[in-house]
């Protein structure tokens, strides 16, 4: 059995009534949506965009500050390396000056030592020559003394032996 027309009309009338009663709710919903967009959503999007810009700008500034700090750090390191190199060069120059001064002092000491050795050698040779001359003189004097002592004794002994020899050959006796 087919539904009656009246039942269908009744359902349609109820739907029409329901629809008519929902129109003010739909209008209010649309008004509320428009008010939300106008009063809340647009300012919120504006604030969020501004926040994003500020965050991006702050990050960009921070990155720029980091790059500047890196550049300053590299500049500082370059100056530090240059200062260290300068200190090293100055140290090397001081070491060279000290080395030259030490070499000069050593050379002077070496020359003074050689002069002292040379003077001592000459003095020793002079003393040796004087000692030899003194020994020669003393040797000559000692030889003369020895000869003086030996020769008179030999002369006395020679005379005695000559007399003994001449007495034994002679006919007369000395006793």
Domain ranges (residues) in the chain: 35-120
**In angstroms, rounded to a whole number, what is the distance separating the alpha carbons of residues 139 and 134?**
8
**In angstroms, rounded to a whole number, what is the distance separating the alpha carbons of residues 150 and 158?**
11
Contact 174, 167 (CB under 8 A): yes
* Predicted local confidence at residue 153, as pLDDT: 66
* Predicted local confidence at residue 2, as pLDDT: 54
- pTM for the predicted model, two decimal places: 0.40
* Predicted local confidence at residue 151, as pLDDT: 82
* Predicted local confidence at residue 175, as pLDDT: 38
Label residues 126-154 b or e (16+ Cβ within 10 Å = b): eeeeeeeeeeeeeeeeeeeeeeeeeeeee
* Predicted local confidence at residue 158, as pLDDT: 62
Tell me which DSSP letter residue 5 carries: H
* Predicted local confidence at residue 162, as pLDDT: 58
* Predicted local confidence at residue 138, as pLDDT: 87
* Predicted local confidence at residue 120, as pLDDT: 92
Q: Which two tokens stand for residue 76?
A: 């500082």
Which parts of the chain sit beneath pLDDT 50? 1, 168-175
Label residues 9-18 b or e (16+ Cβ within 10 Å = b): eeeeeeeeee
* Predicted local confidence at residue 171, as pLDDT: 47
Q: Count how many residues are written for the chain.
A: 175
**In angstroms, rounded to a whole number, what is the distance separating the alpha carbons of residues 100 and 88?**
18
* Predicted local confidence at residue 170, as pLDDT: 47
């Amino acid at each position: 059995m087919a539904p009656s027309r009246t039942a269908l009309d009744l359902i349609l009338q109820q739907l029409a009534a329901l629809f008519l009663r929902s129109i003010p709710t739909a209008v209010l919903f649309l008004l509320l949506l428009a008010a939300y967009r106008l009063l809340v959503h647009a300012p919120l999007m504006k604030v969020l965009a501004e926040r994003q810009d500020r965050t991006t700008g702050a990050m960009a500034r921070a990155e720029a500050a980091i790059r500047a700090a890196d550049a300053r750090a590299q500049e500082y390191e370059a100056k530090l390396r240059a200062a260290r190199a300068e200190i090293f060069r100055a140290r090397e120059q001081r070491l060279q000056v000290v080395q030259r001064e030490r070499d000069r002092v050593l050379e002077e000491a070496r020359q003074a030592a050689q002069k002292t050795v040379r003077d001592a050698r000459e003095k020793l040779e002079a003393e040796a020559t004087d000692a030899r001359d003194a020994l020669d003189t003393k040797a000559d004097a000692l030889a003369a003394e020895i000869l003086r002592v030996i020769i008179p004794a030999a002369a006395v002994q020679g005379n005695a032996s000559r007399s003994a020899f001449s007495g034994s050959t002679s006919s007369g006796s000395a006793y």
